């Protein structure tokens, strides 16, 4: 198996699943401007995932398309990070999840844009411009809530508690991650996250057991529910089109 196919699918799955999660906020955001912000970010992530799926489909051939990859693969075939599939919880947990992921994407795409695979490099360069906005937006929210009221501060603490255990997986390379070794961005990620948490008056968590498996298709309970909703139409009415 060509590692680039799996790698593209991994990048596509993470962005698709987080997009699907964020989309749950559509029409439910705390205020209109932030409803629009999170759905804008969702749109960017969805666009990125389409680019990665299209590339994977072109490498796979055999009639595979971006749609067949998104709608017809099973849970065990999805290679997204566990972080991306976690529940939104409250606004604090949503923005913290986005923050952890966006900082990771920013560092990863910064390297990926100069990799030898031209298409991956092009997608990364394109996406990076969008991710820079996501990092800024989510950082500001982490600080605003962490350094806000007693209530918002305690919610950020809870969010860190819920999500930190899923961050270690990002930097442990899967077999197919040969293009960029993700362990090389770990220190920069910790540094950036630490800077923002510090500004927010939030502690950088100590050592905890890190959950792994998403990159190899072993997921938490959450992914099944997401796929059930995401894939329902294609499963119930095969080949249906808008």
Partner 1 sequence: MEEKKEHILSLLREIPDPEVPVLTIEDLGVLRDVRINGDEVEVVITPTYSGCPAMDTIRMQIRLALMEHGYTNNKITMLLSPAWTTEWMSESGKEKLKAYGIAPPNPKQQVCEPQEQLFAAAEAVQCPLCESWNTRRISEFGSTACKALYQCNECREPFDYFKCH
Residue 46 found at the interface with partner 1 (CB under 8 A): yes
Residue choice 1, 62, 118, 240 for contact with partner 1 (CB under 8 A): 118
Compute the distance between CA of residue 104 and CA of residue 132 in angstroms, rounded to an integer: 11
Residue 106 found at the interface with partner 1 (CB under 8 A): yes
Kindly state the DSSP code that residue 26 receives in the 8-state scheme. T
Compute the distance between CA of residue 226 and CA of residue 3 in angstroms, rounded to an integer: 26
Compute the distance between CA of residue 61 and CA of residue 55 in angstroms, rounded to an integer: 10
Residue 129 found at the interface with partner 1 (CB under 8 A): yes
Residue choice 4, 5, 23, 34 for contact with partner 1 (CB under 8 A): 34
Residue 36 found at the interface with partner 1 (CB under 8 A): yes
What's the min distance (Å) between Cβ of 76 and partner 1?
27
What's the min distance (Å) between Cβ of 218 and partner 1?
28
Q: Which of 145, 5, 131, 157 is nearest to 77 (CA)?
A: 5
Compute the distance between CA of residue 183 and CA of residue 219 in angstroms, rounded to an integer: 21
Size of the site for partner 1 (CB under 8 A): 37
Residue 188 found at the interface with partner 1 (CB under 8 A): no
Query: What does the block give as tokens for 166?
Result: 């899923």
Taking the least distance from each CB to partner 1, the nearer of 101 and 166 is 101
Residue choice 163, 196, 197, 223 for contact with partner 1 (CB under 8 A): 196
Taking the least distance from each CB to partner 1, the nearer of 40 and 211 is 40
Kindly state the DSSP code that residue 205 receives in the 8-state scheme. P
Residue choice 9, 12, 17, 41 for contact with partner 1 (CB under 8 A): 41
Which residue's entry shows tokens 């938490």? 220
Q: Which of 187, 188, 193 is nearest to 205 (CA)?
A: 193
Taking the least distance from each CB to partner 1, the nearer of 82 and 135 is 135
Residue 130 found at the interface with partner 1 (CB under 8 A): yes
Give me the DSSP letters along 107-144.
Answer: HHHHHHTTSS-HHHHHHHHHHHHHHHHHHHHHHHHHHH
What's the min distance (Å) between Cβ of 55 and partner 1?
10
Contacts of 38 (CB under 8 A, 6+ apart): 22, 25, 26, 29, 94, 98
Residue 216 found at the interface with partner 1 (CB under 8 A): no
Kindly state the DSSP code that residue 79 receives in the 8-state scheme. -
Residue choice 75, 90, 110, 117 for contact with partner 1 (CB under 8 A): 110
List contacts with partner 1 (CB under 8 A).
33-34, 36-37, 40-41, 43-48, 50-51, 106, 110, 118-119, 121-123, 125-130, 132-133, 135-137, 139-140, 143, 196, 199
């Amino acid at each position: 198996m060509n590692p680039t196919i799996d790698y593209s699918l991994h990048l596509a799955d993470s962005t698709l699943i987080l997009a699907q999660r964020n989309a749950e906020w559509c029409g439910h955001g705390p205020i209109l401007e932030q409803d629009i912000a999170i759905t804008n970010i969702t749109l960017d992530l969805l666009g990125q995932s389409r680019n990665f799926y299209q590339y994977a489909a072109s490498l796979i051939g055999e009639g595979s398309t971006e749609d067949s990859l998104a709608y017809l693969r099973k849970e065990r075939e999805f290679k997204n990070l566990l972080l991306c599939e976690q529940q939104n919880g409250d606004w604090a947990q949503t923005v913290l999840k986005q923050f952890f992921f966006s900082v990771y994407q920013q560092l990863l795409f910064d390297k990926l844009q100069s990799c030898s695979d031209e298409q991956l490099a092009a997608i990364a360069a394109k996406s990076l411009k969008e991710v820079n906005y996501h990092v800024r937006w989510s950082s500001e929210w982490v600080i605003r809530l962490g350094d806000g009221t007693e209530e918002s501060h305690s919610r950020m603490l809870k969010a860190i508690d819920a999500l930190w255990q899923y961050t270690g997986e990002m930097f442990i390379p899967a077999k197919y991650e040969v293009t960029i070794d993700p362990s090389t961005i770990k220190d920069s990620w910790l540094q950036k996250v630490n800077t923002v948490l510090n500004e927010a008056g939030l502690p950088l968590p100590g050592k905890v057991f890190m959950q792994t498996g998403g990159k190899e298709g072993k997921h938490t309970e959450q992914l099944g529910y997401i796929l059930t909703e995401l894939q329902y139409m294609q499963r119930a009415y095969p080949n249906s089109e808008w």
